[in-house]
Chain A
């Protein structure tokens, strides 16, 4: 009796585990894949050796409506794509000089690639929009902190297109238009 019951339970358990695995695999396949660029459009991400570089990040400040420069040294592979990812990660880490964090802390970078015509596609997890303060000023500081930081440090980046969860979204929280690429705005930066 007991062994029979154990066997049935065991079979059910294995069945359940298989179901769970199938479910999650399907789920990840169904997630929208990062939009347009064809592989040929991408800049070759040659795996260069890691080296220290100095980058400039742009953060909002409590004192005024402007973005403020913050230099820091990071170790990164020499390809532009890798540098771009590292720059976004450094923005996630926040300021070391007490400036404000422009991106909700739960946000993750899903994907980032730079096309040959100089557009960096940055794909954030949906937290960047769902956890956002969603006021105009907050949206402007989030967007241009990312756009300016990438464009300023990377020659290959002329414009930045922000994707959310792999797809195009209209806005972060109902204000600034995300359906086109942003050029950097250095007039938002403090002298």
Chain B
């Protein structure tokens, strides 16, 4: 290499930094400057349910935890090789008095003080996003059930989800509706997956779980690949005097990035109209009884059919929320709310009814997950947990 060449190379080398060095310096600086923000976080939130409180410890990093009970305290120990940034927010909950963080060598301790010394708890982990979840039950019903169940040899975790039916009532009946079927294939995935197949797989798994854990009647609107009209699906629920109607679907969107579960109940727009019809019917019911001609009866039946769901909207929204909560935990979606829309299949159902879009088939990642038995089972578990939470809070149903 001649001297001239070297000089050229040198000059060449010196030429670049003007463009590259300054931005990269800035980048590095910003990186260091923003480093404290990239520190893993720990955040506690609580939510009250009818007979228990749920405490969620969320982090941006997988957690290694242990939990210990002592009188009215619960101690959650979280191992930490690197320091966490603790986000403090005031917590209000019916069964939890206070929570407090303390730091030891290589670990953090969360001290949970409950309202009563007499309580039991249940804890589990969710991996995406990393969460440690603690359900706290005050004395009373859960304990009794639990002791009864454990002495009978049933695992403790299941005891909470089981409910003893009151003999005086009709046995509860849960109708599970796997969406689409037959020629009506529903949405299609990028790998050719059909919505009708996934809804059937998840529906059957859900039915199996309910059958194992609840003393109740389970009816599937279809258990094979057949075409069933939307009205017939609602009729199945009504003819079986359903306690709950759960329609299972898989979503599809024009958005490539659309992801996550969504739980729907019937929309208000429809119900407003039905409410007006209902008011009309109530005001005219005496006359109606006397004056109905044979032809009109069909019309009245149609109107009654149309408004079947109206009376149950509030309960349907609660049911939707319980299920959505569990699906959010499963998919790691940050608190996606419940939604309302005028779904044809829901209008004729005379009981609390929801339509669950378990994930997006139009999203390749979610499609791939939904194809695995493991995920289908997880989705079914989440739906079951949601509906049993709802039933526990509405034990009069």
Interface centre among B252, B345, B355, B362 (most CB of A within 10 A): B252
- Given that A170-B230, A180-B342, A182-B269 are contacting pairs, would A100 and B187 also be in contact in the complex, using a CB cutoff of 8 Å? no
Please pick, from B344, B357, B361, the residue contacting A176 in the complex, using a CB distance under 8 A.
Answer: B344
Whether A136 and B341, one on each chain, are in contact in the complex, defined by CB atoms closer than 8 angstroms, is yes
Interface centre among B251, B262, B357, B362 (most CB of A within 10 A): B251
- Nearest B residue to A187, CB-CB: B340
Say if the beta carbon of A138 comes within 8 Å of chain B.
yes
Contacts of B252 on A, CB cut-off 8 Å?
Answer: 133-138
Contacts of B297 on A, CB cut-off 8 Å?
Answer: none
A-binding segment of B100-108, B122-130, B178-186, B235-243:
B178-186
A-binding segment of B24-32, B213-221, B253-261, B286-294:
B253-261
CB distance from A188 to the nearest CB of B (A): 10
Interface centre among A135, A140, A183, A185 (most CB of B within 10 A): A135
A177–B230 CA distance with the chains assembled, in angstroms = 10
A165–B255 CA distance with the chains assembled, in angstroms = 27
CB distance from A97 to the nearest CB of B (A): 15
1/0 per position for B49-64, CB-CB distance to A under 8 A?
0000000000000000
Whether A135 and B253, one on each chain, are in contact in the complex, defined by CB atoms closer than 8 angstroms, is yes
Say if the beta carbon of B273 comes within 8 Å of chain A.
yes
CB distance from A177 to the nearest CB of B (A): 4
Contacts of B273 on A, CB cut-off 8 Å?
Answer: 180
Say if the beta carbon of B388 comes within 8 Å of chain A.
no
Say if the beta carbon of B324 comes within 8 Å of chain A.
no
Whether B179 and A174, one on each chain, are in contact in the complex, defined by CB atoms closer than 8 angstroms, is yes
Whether B357 and A136, one on each chain, are in contact in the complex, defined by CB atoms closer than 8 angstroms, is yes
Interface residues of B in 186-209 (CB under 8 A from A): 186-187, 195
Say if the beta carbon of B264 comes within 8 Å of chain A.
yes
Whether B341 and A100, one on each chain, are in contact in the complex, defined by CB atoms closer than 8 angstroms, is no
Whether A137 and B344, one on each chain, are in contact in the complex, defined by CB atoms closer than 8 angstroms, is no
A61–B253 CA distance with the chains assembled, in angstroms = 10
Contacts of A182 on B, CB cut-off 8 Å?
Answer: 269, 342
Say if the beta carbon of A62 comes within 8 Å of chain B.
yes
1/0 per position for B271-293, CB-CB distance to A under 8 A?
00100000000000000000000
CB distance from A94 to the nearest CB of B (A): 11
Whether A135 and B255, one on each chain, are in contact in the complex, defined by CB atoms closer than 8 angstroms, is no
Say if the beta carbon of B250 comes within 8 Å of chain A.
yes
CB distance from B61 to the nearest CB of A (A): 28
Say if the beta carbon of B249 comes within 8 Å of chain A.
yes
- Given that A136-B357, A183-B269, A185-B269 are contacting pairs, would A175 and B343 also be in contact in the complex, using a CB cutoff of 8 Å? yes
Whether A65 and B258, one on each chain, are in contact in the complex, defined by CB atoms closer than 8 angstroms, is yes
Say if the beta carbon of A102 comes within 8 Å of chain B.
yes
Size band of the interface chain B makes with A: 20 to 34
Say if the beta carbon of A107 comes within 8 Å of chain B.
no
Whether A174 and B253, one on each chain, are in contact in the complex, defined by CB atoms closer than 8 angstroms, is no
CB distance from B68 to the nearest CB of A (A): 43
- Given that A137-B253, A171-B344 are contacting pairs, would A177 and B187 also be in contact in the complex, using a CB cutoff of 8 Å? no
A138–B342 CA distance with the chains assembled, in angstroms = 14
Contacts of B195 on A, CB cut-off 8 Å?
Answer: 134-135
Say if the beta carbon of B347 comes within 8 Å of chain A.
yes
Whether B344 and A179, one on each chain, are in contact in the complex, defined by CB atoms closer than 8 angstroms, is yes
A177–B256 CA distance with the chains assembled, in angstroms = 25
- Given that A135-B362, A136-B264, A136-B355 are contacting pairs, would A174 and B254 also be in contact in the complex, using a CB cutoff of 8 Å? no
Say if the beta carbon of B377 comes within 8 Å of chain A.
no
Say if the beta carbon of B132 comes within 8 Å of chain A.
no
Please pick, from A62, A174, A177, A185, the residue contacting B255 in the complex, using a CB distance under 8 A.
Answer: A62
- Given that A134-B187, A177-B344 are contacting pairs, would A60 and B254 also be in contact in the complex, using a CB cutoff of 8 Å? yes
A121–B343 CA distance with the chains assembled, in angstroms = 20
Contacts of B249 on A, CB cut-off 8 Å?
Answer: 135-136, 175
A177–B184 CA distance with the chains assembled, in angstroms = 16
- Nearest B residue to A170, CB-CB: B344
Whether B255 and A180, one on each chain, are in contact in the complex, defined by CB atoms closer than 8 angstroms, is no
CB distance from A129 to the nearest CB of B (A): 11
> Which residues in B have some Cβ–Cβ distance to A below 8 Å?
179-180, 184, 186-187, 195, 230, 249-258, 262, 264, 269-270, 273, 341-345, 347, 355, 357, 360-362
List 24 A-B residue pairs with CB atoms under 8 Å apart, sorted by A's residue number: A60-B254, A62-B255, A62-B257, A65-B253, A100-B255, A133-B252, A134-B187, A134-B252, A135-B186, A135-B187, A135-B249, A135-B252, A137-B253, A137-B258, A137-B262, A140-B341, A170-B230, A174-B184, A175-B355, A176-B343, A177-B343, A177-B344, A179-B344, A182-B269
Beyond the given A133-B254, A136-B341, A179-B344, please list 14 additional residue pairs across the A-B interface where CB-CB is below 8 A.
A61-B255, A133-B187, A135-B186, A135-B195, A135-B357, A136-B249, A138-B254, A141-B253, A174-B180, A174-B230, A175-B355, A177-B343, A180-B270, A182-B269
